[in-house]
Structure 1
């Protein structure tokens, strides 16, 4: 929901297009996705193109949902069906118009706007600053990580007159992007968090990247930065007037000195202000990244004029902010979406959209929601929440807080309302949970983490996190290598390479995959039972189970005359058309039809017209290695010749596909009609040609169960294989080879990351646990440990033991909980 805007007035002043108006258009909602449209009467639909979709193609759907205000691309004017009684702004670039609209809304706002950029910490600084400032004033902050070209525009449109200060973050991935964002945000105060390696490949060097990011701050009154970051400090101090710069550092020499004293639980920050007064701030955090972010918050709060005692009260209450939506296992076979850290309307809609994309186990969709503390008019807010609950077809709303009790009449009688967190905990049995999908979302003061702990299943402390944003990123990267008309089949066999077939398949369905492939019929049946509707190819089907193939609309692969004859005999009296995929052996020497079988194959198909070839494909034996390039090209040529000869006898053209993840990178011009994306989706580029373009999807995590002091020479673990080289400490981790952490990683053959530092294994890997040397790392029981992810990578670990990344992913045990993350 945005501040009401006169769309007709905006359009008449916008120079980048031409208008068709039938009446005055007052708008209070911006829609870029027709699936989210609740009430179109006062909405504006902006047709933004996606990687495979033209936004204008959805204008008619938006119109059917009563939308009467549109920003549409001029190039589509001849193709868009007539939209009766509509106000239309036709423009070369709808994104430009959206950003101009956002700019107009931002400049109606009189309060200070704080712009935040940098490589890391932007979102955390924004969230924590909102928590501190929100004690006294109404704060608007951009939702989650909305810092892109579209995200910043949508964020700026959310600022309303009720707000007193606005926090907007900005992120860029290439030169030229910040100029556009700066025109929207135009901050009065800027925060430059730090500089790192993200998107380095798109910038000449770090100084170039700093320069691009600093374009956001061209007109700021004050710019806050950490002086200890030498490159940032050097650039800012040579570029900006000194009276606009506000620096802080661990050591004297900056405007604010903020030194840290670690304590048993957390830390104390000792600050010397510019007037030489000293202040102390206590925090529960003690890791370097959090302490840096907190100090940015303290300095910005001081610049804004907050009293130090008020800042201390806010800092003391700061909590870990997980900006990610997390899908996890719950009690009584429920699925749980954890978004308990915060609550606002924009974030609620994002969370509900994520919820709508998940499979519902078999029960209800339940929303546990607290009242919102920064949203202004309570009655209007209750109406908006009611509209979202209805639109996203929530079966049961559990409302917590006085707002819900005051406005019960806006909600159905089936809703449950509680005054506070303790009542929910005491009344959880009233929900009668059983295989439900539950979204928990609440403002900090309601402490919904207690509800999460109650609802979360008691499981192993080791977790495999699947980052759905990274998965989407990798999927889109491979799409950029291909022509727009090339389809993508994604391999989700073997539990989607260990990541969870149903959850990943459902997400792939949302982001535009064309086909899925599994190894066996039961895998395909499972996907159908979990709500997957994409075409599913079964690579090694048992054709005796034709009833399951037909019931669940699966498409079997035929790789021999015997398998074809077996399928034909069962389908002899069937009238229903049966689609198959034909596998040809062009050199892999695994499953597949040989050339000498093709004549009999075609004769057989002519005798069984109910069997239709939907696709023809082959497997490449060495597409991932340059040494096999000649052989691979021979395979591709052979495939083209054999498939051409088959297609010349067929009445319809089947889909042809040969390239795997490695082949897409090496031979994109040989994509035929479709490609098969497998390990590349998970962030592993086996050619090692484009690895820096991919993101790690899976992160394996565990916790430290115990820390022990061990003396030099003492033995550790079974067989006494581990030996301490000096006095030190070891940590016992809650993971072993039964969880998929290979025995070969023992005795220093692998490292883990704990508190941001490497800790190498020591001793043999046990069935349920292992040990690492943490001497000098100040590790504590309960600390999080990363076994693989961004570091160490799957490729590194596989190379350490002579394995391949596939083995490590598919070997993760089923007792390891899978959590699905949307950043």
Structure 2
């Protein structure tokens, strides 16, 4: 089978997962979106294999997708919505823990009827995304007799200041515990800071949600390759592809597997914090505007230029004539972001 392939060194990857699970008490794996390239069912099964009893997903639909693959508790990270019938149904499921970020939703959940819903109360952090303001936290105590409050969730930003998240986590954690004594659940708290806080709080009083660091934290265990589908010689000035751009030099058009359907050529915006990174972004943008963009495919140790934007399931690369072209069927290394990639096959070796 040809296509975009993720090959996993099974021993190395599983050793990494086990080491983290053993090191981090209260670890809660996160499986959301595309399942970090592995797929949601696979991550649900790996969580069960690690012996962990709680798994976090992003949405109600993702909770439904992993239900048959995981028999523990499922946390839905997206704030609960009273107008979503699936979310309402899952709030009644004894295996599901919903995240609440508005006081009005606490009241609605408390009056759903049946068993008491299990909830995590989200505290607003400097991310300014979801959650209750610190001054609103005392109102949560009103509903503690009507809801099973599984804990407080504190979703921290990702930033360069190594002390910021530790200080913010401590401040908001203390404010929350003053209202309801329940476990503190963290995201993006450095592992060493989390371990220190978990030790202070006591056994089973802290949780650390982890996605990227868990699933993608051993890059040497993961290899992505694409298949060479065709190779065509080309002369300078001959036109190429959908957009019929003229070749700038003699060489080859190399057709490779992987396109926009696989996430090739798609990229999340970068922070571009430094002057150098901004200059690189500006220069790259100018090249793309002129019809030139460096591809993530490597041939003979170098990234090669796209001939034009990727197609849906394949891409056209330009190779200069001084370079020996690959053969049809060869596998080429390709750099992808697993969080947006869709692989044609995932192989464990």
Kindly indicate whether the alpha-carbon contact (under 8 Å) linking 2:237 and 2:246 is maintained by their aligned counterparts in 1: no
Is 1:737 aligned to 2:273, yes or no?
no
Structure 1 residues 707 and 490: alpha-carbon distance in aligned structure 2, compared to 1, 3 A threshold: same
* C-alpha distance in structure 1 between counterparts of 2:103 and 2:49, whole Å: 37
2:228 to 704, 723, 726: 704
Offset at 1:565? 1.4
Q: Which residue of 1 aligns with 2:346?
A: 819
Any residues of structure 2 matched to 1:403-418 within 5 Å, and which?
none
Offset at 1:473? 3.5
Q: Which residue of 1 aligns with 2:339?
A: 810
Q: Which residue of 2 aligns with 1:637?
A: 170
Question: In proportion to residue count, which structure has more strand?
Answer: 2
Offset at 1:630? 4.2
TM-score normalised by structure 2 residue count:
0.78
Max Rg structure: 1
Q: Which residue of 1 aligns with 2:46?
A: 507
CA offsets, 1:656-684, max 9 Å, x none?
Answer: 22242x62266542356221111112335
Q: Which residue of 1 aligns with 2:137?
A: 598
Is 1:781 aligned to 2:325, yes or no?
no
Note the residue ranges of structure 2 that are not aligned, 5 or more in a row: 268-287
* C-alpha distance in structure 1 between counterparts of 2:71 and 2:43, whole Å: 13
Q: Which residue of 1 aligns with 2:282?
A: none
* C-alpha distance in structure 1 between counterparts of 2:132 and 2:266, whole Å: 39
* C-alpha distance in structure 1 between counterparts of 2:55 and 2:303, whole Å: 39
TM-score normalised by structure 1 residue count:
0.35
1:758 to 282, 302, 313: 302
* C-alpha distance in structure 2 between counterparts of 1:646 and 1:583, whole Å: 13
Q: Which residue of 2 aligns with 1:663?
A: 190
Q: Which residue of 1 aligns with 2:76?
A: 538
Is 1:550 aligned to 2:95, yes or no?
no
CA offsets, 1:393-439, max 9 Å, x none?
Answer: xxxxxxxxxxxxxxxxxxxxxxxxxxxxxxxxxxxxxxxxxxxxxxx
CA offsets, 1:609-651, max 9 Å, x none?
Answer: xx211122201123x41xx334323311212211320235xxx
Q: Which residue of 1 aligns with 2:4?
A: 462
Structure 1 residues 461 and 551: alpha-carbon distance in aligned structure 2, compared to 1, 3 A threshold: same
Q: Which residue of 2 aligns with 1:675?
A: 208
* Larger RCO (CA within 8 A; separation ≥ 6): 2
Offset at 1:720? 4.6
Structure 1 residues 601 and 492: alpha-carbon distance in aligned structure 2, compared to 1, 3 A threshold: same
CA offsets, 1:727-761, max 9 Å, x none?
Answer: 3323111222232101688834234235x643502
Kindly indicate whether the alpha-carbon contact (under 8 Å) linking 2:123 and 2:153 is maintained by their aligned counterparts in 1: yes
* C-alpha distance in structure 2 between counterparts of 1:566 and 1:473, whole Å: 44
* C-alpha distance in structure 1 between counterparts of 2:94 and 2:298, whole Å: 44
2:251 to 703, 707, 728: 728
Q: Which residue of 2 aligns with 1:397?
A: none
Offset at 1:489? 0.6
Kindly indicate whether the alpha-carbon contact (under 8 Å) linking 1:474 and 1:680 is maintained by their aligned counterparts in 2: no
Is 1:695 aligned to 2:219, yes or no?
yes
Is 1:526 aligned to 2:65, yes or no?
yes
Q: Which residue of 1 aligns with 2:270?
A: none
Structure 1 residues 666 and 749: alpha-carbon distance in aligned structure 2, compared to 1, 3 A threshold: farther
Structure 1 residues 556 and 478: alpha-carbon distance in aligned structure 2, compared to 1, 3 A threshold: same
Structure 1 residues 667 and 675: alpha-carbon distance in aligned structure 2, compared to 1, 3 A threshold: closer
